[in-house]
Every structure is written in C-alpha cells, then in structure tokens.
Amino acid sequence: MATTSSFVDGKPQASLSLNDRGLNYGHGLFETMRLFSGQLPLWRYHCQRLVMGAERLGIAHDSSRLERYLHQAREAFPTDGMLKLLLTAGVGPRGYRQQIPSASYALQYFPLPAVPRLRALHLQLCDYALPHNAQLAGIKHLNRLDQVLAAGELKEGYEGLLLDVDSNVVEALSSNIFLFDGQNWLTPELQLCGVAGVMRRLLCEEIMPSLGHQVLVKPLALTSLLSASEVFVCNAVRGIQPVCELEGLARWTLEFSGSETEKVITQLTQTYPCFSAQCFVV
Amino acid sequence: MATTSSFVDGKPQASLSLNDRGLNYGHGLFETMRLFSGQLPLWRYHCQRLVMGAERLGIAHDSSRLERYLHQAREAFPTDGMLKLLLTAGVGPRGYRQQIPSASYALQYFPLPAVPRLRALHLQLCDYALPHNAQLAGIKHLNRLDQVLAAGELKEGYEGLLLDVDSNVVEALSSNIFLFDGQNWLTPELQLCGVAGVMRRLLCEEIMPSLGHQVLVKPLALTSLLSASEVFVCNAVRGIQPVCELEGLARWTLEFSGSETEKVITQLTQTYPCFSAQCFVV
C-alpha cells in the first residue's frame, strides 16, 4: 500500500481481531460518507444516525475518540472520495452477552466509483422480501444478509428494488427511493425495515422544504411506484440518480429539463456542490 | 500468545481483513465444535450444516481446503476444548453484490467454559421476538443481532428463551430446546427462524430413536412448554443441560434418577463420552 488507507482505533491497520463482535455477530454499524475537499459535508446527519444506532445496539460509543480518529484519517487520506466508518461493539469473550463494553473504530478510504454515474438507473424487482424488525429498522447495522441475498438475484447493470414481507416498497439496495405522484414527493416509511439514509433525511428536512414540498413519508404499495410520474433513488455518496425503468413493470421517460427531479438536483447541488457530478444528463 | 491459538487460511493469524464480507455484511457462517482427544466427534453434522449454509449464502466453500486447515489446527491446538470455525465469503470490493468468489477460513481454539456446567439451567423469557426468515432459518450465519439484543435483556445466571413473532417457542439463546410431555419428546420446528443445532440433530436422528422415541418436530406454543414434565436444552459443546425454571412461569422438579432426561443423557454419553461431564447431578 503506497499510503495509509485504513486505521483501526487510530493505528494504521487493515484488519480487525477475530474476536471482534462486529465480525462474530455483526454487532456494529457503518457509515459510508462522501469525502469532498477534505471535508465530510453530511457528517452531522451521519453522526446522528450513528449515535442512535449505538444506543439501540448497546455499543459504548465515545464521540471524542471518534472525532480524533476522523481528524487523523482526513489528514492521511486523499481529499476526495469516500470514507467508510465501521463502529463495532469491540473485542470481547465468546458469547452473545456483551461483557466488556468497548468499541472498535475502523476508518477506510475508497476512491469514488469509476463507472459512469450520470446515466439513469435501471431497477430490478427483487424476490427477496425484507422481514420486519422494528428494533433494527432505520439504523445501518452490520447484519446485511438481506441485502447480500437480494443482490444475488440482480442482473448486470441493474440496481435492486426491495419490497417488505407485506409487499410494500422499502428502498433500493444501496439507496432510498422517492417518487413524484404528479403533486407530491413521497418516500416509504421505514419503521419496520430499511435503512433511513442520510441523503433521504437531507432531502426531507432541507432540500424539499426549500422547494415548497413537504415529503409524504408513508407505506407505499408497488402500484404507487408504477403510477408515479418521476422516480429517483439517492444516497450519501452518489447523491440523486433518476430511475428510468423498473424492469418489466414500468418505464419513465426522462425529460430532465423542467422536471421535478431536475429542480431537486439543482437545489441539492447549489447547497452541496459535491453532489453535482451526479446531475443527470439525457 | 504462548502457542498458536488461531489460523486464517492456514496461516497463524488472529485477525481478518477490514474488507472481508464476514465483517462488513455478516456474509459468513460459524461452527463451534467440541474438541475431544484431538478429534471433533460431531464433525460430520457440523460439516453438513456448513455446506448447506454455504449454498444458501453463495459462499465458495472448498471442502478439501477446510479439511487441510482443520488438520493443521488440530495438530497445533490443545487436544481438548472448543474449536470455532468462521467461514466467510472472503475479501472483496465494496458493495453487497459478490464479485469475487473467494472464502476465508478462520479457526480458533477456546478452552471449555470454566464455570460449573453441572447445574440445571434457569431460563428467562426474552421480550425480543425472532423475526421469520425462511432463507436464513436453520443455518448458523453471522447475522446475530437478534441474539445480541435478546442477550441484552438477561439477568446474571439466566439463559434466554426465545419466542418468534407468532409467540411460538424457538430455542434458547445458545442452544436448542426439548420437552417431554409425559409421552413424547418434542422440539420446535425451525423452518422460519432459529438455528438447527448439531446436537439437536444427533438427538433426533440417533439418540432418541435408539431409546424408542421419535421426536415430534412441530411449532410449539409457550403453553406446551409450561405444561411439560421435563425440559432440557442442548448444544454441541455443553451437551444436554436440564432446565429447572422458566423464571416467573414454571419450575421443574429435577428428580434426575429414573427421569426421561437421565435416559437421554446416559444414552448420549455412552456413544459420545465427551458429553459425560455435562451429566446432571442433583
């Protein structure tokens, strides 16, 4: 490795103990963050989700330690790309019961995806249905077999669309989903499953209201998605990506100019220029 | 470390890459095995469960590699104790989709638990309910937040009893459960959640039939447990442990001599003497 691209608990290191609870039980959380000019523009939201997740999973998270490690990583890493944080319940004796409250902090640098990110997205409906679990819903924990199994169904070039066990739309595989019904923006409620994305929150709380929209957050049937006039997915690395197709079920003609999606992207990139590279071009 | 107590892919090593899918997604499996006189008496069953799990999770498992690593570990480790195997989907690029089919094999030695294991077990009913997921049920995968959250409820000295979202009895936290209803032995069906334990299988397929019992495997309501005349839990390390209490709900007078549980333990330890240390003594 030419330069240090990972730290564990403040030390240049690319591995974690076999006794870490993150590995043995998925007892941990992660955040994948856009790194832009040496800054983490959405850190405030990432941090709040992390703290909520640590509380739910009983992880002894120390904010000042994390701030120190983040500072160290940002000094060592390239200024642009992605920073992935793994916060785990740390090393402990064998057994589900947590006996030693510690935590492990791993930070890794990744370059931004090299593949063209400007194209509209093709969605494929996954057969795998997300089970309900109110205690794990919303947080970005390390138990990701649902996503791994769903990803196993995907054809090359497609992103997965995930429904829950009640056949409601939840999210895309690595992003949240928004739809425009002709009047309002809607996005699925995530009380029973799914990850409450940082970009989703930014859009609901800052960007959409500044455009005069109040996003409707509610359970969404697949039929609502199929009849939507515009659909996009979003996450904290790629920003907003318009959807042009749900394979075999729906197509959206992307007349970007004058569309509602264009307005949202324009508003987002004015405040957060790091997401401008993701602007859609027909 | 005085002696080598862990190997990863055949090398003495106590850590796994930050890019391992086992850590990032829980994309892996584990087996905790009794090591006895340098042998793994239940290896056949552990191996079959592992192979089934690897198929379900799309892990490129290589049996001959594993056999080689196991041989190496058994040569290096003490002859008695526990051997924990972690089989993960290996190191790969970021993202849920598996792009490089590899696998990581980690083997660790642990001594047997030092605490007295002869006492009867006190169970505590957990509030946390196991969600249903037919694709993950039965196998011993690394997404164990259900167990971690349930364990967080437990008082010192208690083992957790887990129900599913339909309030049926599933298992104890680290073991399977059997009950005697006065005529038959019963154990919960595990088609929708729970881990299909190796000791459970040994009892159902070998030990109970040799005593003239056909174990009834079916959904079990909590009321069936409460009205049972005898209850025990079992796993592949501790063997069989009689249950004396479900806290606040039921107690079982343990008249061991002449009990059905005694017959099962006697039969088990005749064939597998490694589990005789767990025999119950009033």
How far, in Å, are B213, B239, B264, B275 from residue B279 at the CA level?
20, 8, 10, 7
How far, in Å, are A9, A122, A156, B272 from residue A149 at the CA level?
31, 19, 15, 37
Question: Tokens 């500044």 correspond to what residue?
Answer: A210
pLDDT-derived band at A2 (thresholds 50, 70, 90) equals: very low
Q: How open is the CA angle A234-A237-A238, to the nearest 5 degrees?
A: 50
CA-closest candidate to residue B257, choices B242, B246, B245: B242
As a whole number of Å, the CA-based R_g of chain A is 19
Q: Which strand (E) or helix (H) includes residue A51?
A: helix A43-57
Question: Tokens 């095995």 correspond to what residue?
Answer: B33
Name the more confident of A46 and B254.
A46
Shortest CA distance from A159: residue in chain B = B97
Assess if residue A1 is contained within a domain.
no
Contacts of B23 in chain A (CB under 8 A): 16, 20, 22-23, 86, 142
Same domain for A71 and A157: no
Contacts of A16 in chain B (CB under 8 A): 15-16, 18, 23
Q: What is the mean pLDDT of chain B?
A: 93
CB contacts < 8 A (A, B) = 146
Q: Which residues pair with A172 in a beta bridge?
A: A161, A175
**What one-character-per-residue DSSP string does B26-84 give?**
--EEEEEEEEBTTB-TTHHHHHHHHHHHHHHHT----HHHHHHHHHHHHHHS-SSEEEE
List of E strands, B89-246: 104-110, 121-125, 159-163, 168-172, 176-180, 185-188, 216-218, 220-221, 230-235, 239-246
Please indicate whether, in this complex, the C-beta atoms of A24 and B108 are within 8 angstroms of each other. no
Assess if residue B227 is contained within a domain.
yes
Please indicate whether, in this complex, the C-beta atoms of B173 and A94 are within 8 angstroms of each other. no
Phi, psi of B220 (to 5 degrees): -125, 120
Last residue of a domain, one of A110, A140, A168: A110
Facing A145 at nearest CB: one of B86, B136, B151: B136
Distance of CA A224 to the CA centre of its chain: 23
How far, in Å, are A34, A180, A251, A267, B269 from residue A263 at the CA level?
22, 12, 21, 6, 72
Please indicate whether, in this complex, the C-beta atoms of B17 and A15 are within 8 angstroms of each other. yes
CA distance B224 to B222: 5
| CB-CB contact of B220 with B186 (8 Å) | yes
Same domain for A149 and A106: no
pTM score of the predicted model: 0.95
CA distance B26 to B133: 16
Same domain for A126 and A232: yes
CA-closest candidate to residue B174, choices B193, B159, B154: B159
Same domain for A273 and A154: yes
Q: How far is B181 from chain A (nearest CA, A)?
A: 30
CA distance B82 to B46: 13
pLDDT-derived band at B279 (thresholds 50, 70, 90) equals: very low
Please indicate whether, in this complex, the C-beta atoms of A86 and B18 are within 8 angstroms of each other. yes
Q: Is A277 left (phi over 0), alpha (psi -120 to 50) or beta?
A: alpha
As a whole number of Å, the CA-based R_g of chain B is 19
Instruction: Report the pLDDT averaged over residues A180-203.
Output: 98
CA distance B82 to A30: 31
> Which CATH number goes with the domain that contains A33?
3.30.470.10
pLDDT digits (tens, 9 = 90+) for A11-66: 999 999 999 999 999 999 999 999 999 999 999 999 999 999 999 999 999 999 99
CA distance A227 to A251: 10
CA distance A61 to A54: 6
Facing B97 at nearest CB: one of A95, A128, A154: A154
Last residue of a domain, one of B48, B76, B110: B110
Q: Which strand (E) or helix (H) includes residue B250?
A: strand B250-251
Class of residue B74 by CB neighbours under 10 A (exposed 0-12, middle 13-18, buried 19+): middle
Pick from A69-78, B99-108, B122-131, B187-196: least confident: B99-108
Assess if residue A183 is contained within a domain.
yes
Positive or negative: CA dihedral A225, A226, A231, A237: positive
- Most confident stretch, A89-93, A262-266, B192-196: B192-196
Number of domains in chain A: 2
Residue B70 has pLDDT above 90, yes or no: yes
Interacting residues of A44 by C-beta distance below 8 A, sequence separation 6+: none
Residue B118: the pLDDT is: 55
Same domain for B263 and B204: yes
Residue B4: the pLDDT is: 79
The percent of residues above 70 in pLDDT, for chain B, comes to 95
Please indicate whether, in this complex, the C-beta atoms of B96 and A151 are within 8 angstroms of each other. yes
Q: How far is B184 from chain A (nearest CA, A)?
A: 31
Same domain for A135 and A78: no
Please indicate whether, in this complex, the C-beta atoms of A143 and B147 are within 8 angstroms of each other. no
CA distance A264 to B5: 56
Residues in chain A: 282
Pick from A263-267, A268-272, A276-280, B214-218: least confident: A276-280
pLDDT-derived band at B1 (thresholds 50, 70, 90) equals: very low
Mutation for testing the B interface, residue in A143, A158, A166, A237 having most B CBs under 10 Å: A143
| CB-CB contact of A268 with A242 (8 Å) | no
Q: How far is B268 from chain A (nearest CA, A)?
A: 25
pLDDT digits (tens, 9 = 90+) for B40-49: 999 999 999 9
Please indicate whether, in this complex, the C-beta atoms of A135 and B143 are within 8 angstroms of each other. no
Same domain for A263 and A165: yes
Range of the domain at A214: 121-278
> Which CATH number goes with the domain that contains B181?
3.20.10.10
Assess if residue B25 is contained within a domain.
yes
Positive or negative: CA dihedral A172, A27, A44, A72: negative
Contacts of A95 in chain B (CB under 8 A): 151, 174
Q: How far is B26 from chain A (nearest CA, A)?
A: 6
Please indicate whether, in this complex, the C-beta atoms of A16 and B18 are within 8 angstroms of each other. yes
Same domain for B215 and B104: no
Facing B23 at nearest CB: one of A16, A57, A133: A16
| CB-CB contact of A185 with A164 (8 Å) | no
Contacts of B30 in chain A (CB under 8 A): 24
Please indicate whether, in this complex, the C-beta atoms of B96 and A150 are within 8 angstroms of each other. yes
Same domain for A158 and A48: no
Last residue of a domain, one of A83, A110, A137: A110
Same domain for A51 and A156: no
| CB-CB contact of B234 with B178 (8 Å) | yes
